[in-house]
């Protein structure tokens, strides 16, 4: 039965020092277990950072070149030639930066 008196632990408190030691060990084990899972979606380490840099470069360089080119084309009345030139130039610069990042070690 579930409430059988023979299954109950003996009366009296366990030794407080051993209880505190077990609690400290359990807290440490839990802290180590949960520390690994704090990174969002398993993203941690230098490899993840390199991937984020590549993504931001491949989006940011052409976007910036397009915006600057669009502004200059509006000021100089030469639509769309400056914007197209800066887009291609920005994409080439992004590819060069990605090439440089790919040579770094992801340790």
Q: Is pLDDT at 87 greater than 90 in this prediction? A: yes
What does the DSSP 8-state code read for residue 40? G
81 within domain boundaries = yes
- Total domains in the chain come to 1
Which has the higher per-residue pLDDT, 105 or 80? Answer: 80
Label residue 65 exposed, middle or buried (CB < 10 Å: 0-12, 13-18, 19+). Answer: buried
Most confident of 9-13, 45-49, 83-87, 103-107: 83-87
Averaged pLDDT, 80-85: 95
Q: What pTM does this model have? A: 0.59
Q: Which pLDDT score is estimated for 36?
A: 59
65 located within any domain: yes
Query: Does position 75 have pLDDT exceeding 90, yes or no?
Result: yes
pLDDT of residue 8: 59
Cα separations (Å) of 18 from 11, 99, 107? 17, 58, 41
In a domain, 36, yes or no: no
107 in a structural domain: no
């Amino acid at each position: 039965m579930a409430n059988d008196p023979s299954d109950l632990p003996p009366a009296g408190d366990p030794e407080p020092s051993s209880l505190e030691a077990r609690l400290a060990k359990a807290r440490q084990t839990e802290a180590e277990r949960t520390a690994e899972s704090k990174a969002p979606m398993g993203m941690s380490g230098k490899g993840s950072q390199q991937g984020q840099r590549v993504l931001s470069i491949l989006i940011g360089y052409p976007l910036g070149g397009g915006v600057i080119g669009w502004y200059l084309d509006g000021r100089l009345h030469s639509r769309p030639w400056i914007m197209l030139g800066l887009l291609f130039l920005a994409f080439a610069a992004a590819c060069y930066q990605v090439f440089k990042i790919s040579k770094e070690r992801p340790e």
